[in-house]
Amino acid sequence: MPEPPTLVRRGRLLRTGAAAVVLLAVVGYVALQYVYGGKPEPRCTVVSGKGDGASYTFTAEQAENAATVTAAGTSRGMPERAVTIALATALQESGLRNLAHGDRDSLGLFQQRPSQGWGDERQIMDPAYSAGRFYEHLAEVPGYSRLPLTVAAQRVQRSGYPQAYAKHEPDAALLAAALTGRAPAAFSCEGRPDTGPGGPAQVRAALVRDFGREVRPGAARGRTVTVPVPAAVATDRAPQRGWELAHWAVAHSSALHIERVSYGGREWRAGGSGTWRAVGRAAEESGSAGPDAAGEVRIVTGQ
């Protein structure tokens, strides 16, 4: 039996009204994005140095925290395996985000608890501090580098779900290889140099904060900060340390207003895919190391 004309018209009106509401919501969202300058958060990607196609994509915020966690480990002389354990732990505990909340009084990247002696709230919310505390406890675990990752992480964290760390090991291993500099030009970010705050002074302060006295950035020349690869690093390891510093700068590019980073005959620029490209004739011929391979990292800021 056909519906009365009045009901048909009413149904059409309801559908039309619902569509109008959805359209207005979309228009409102677009308008807000235009007015407040909202943009998608820049993405970062780490690729395998083994050429096996493995990769991991995450946000600029996560990249910044991962680079700080890595620097906290290498500046203490911790091996790459320790960095992998720390990154896998932070991925599980917080998704590499500096959380101001958690179970009971848990806070930060590693969900450490002030009531359990990890530090006060302000300290734990400092990624460099919280990562340092994690490494201090990890170093006390006998033979941690030979233990399964889940066992080593659990000896530090005392989690109720110790097996959960295992699923993050492949991604953490990719990150550790790139952020310790062992895999050259394997870490890139889209970057967003039009954001702030940032500039040479902030870049120099952040380098000292994360790496300590071993890294001494040179005086800024205009918008450029040069970072000598520490002389204390053995010659055969200098390129790795240089790539660690270069990748650190890329990871912090959005937060510190960084436009360009160059090292080892390659250059990264913010915007677009943000991938590394060879620069100079020597780099084009060799595909990797140029004359500055063991010299200095150059960081150019947008301010």
pLDDT at 29 over 70: no
- The 10s digit of each residue's pLDDT in 262-280 is 999 999 999 867 789 998 6
Q: Region 28-45: what's the mean pLDDT?
A: 54
Higher pLDDT, 3 or 211: 211
Q: Region 22-50: what's the mean pLDDT?
A: 57
pTM of the model: 0.81
pLDDT at 249: 97
pLDDT at 192: 72
Higher pLDDT, 51 or 287: 51
Cα separation of 63 and 42, whole Å?
Answer: 10
Which amino acid makes up residue 22?
A: V
- The 10s digit of each residue's pLDDT in 139-167 is 999 999 999 999 999 999 988 888 999 99
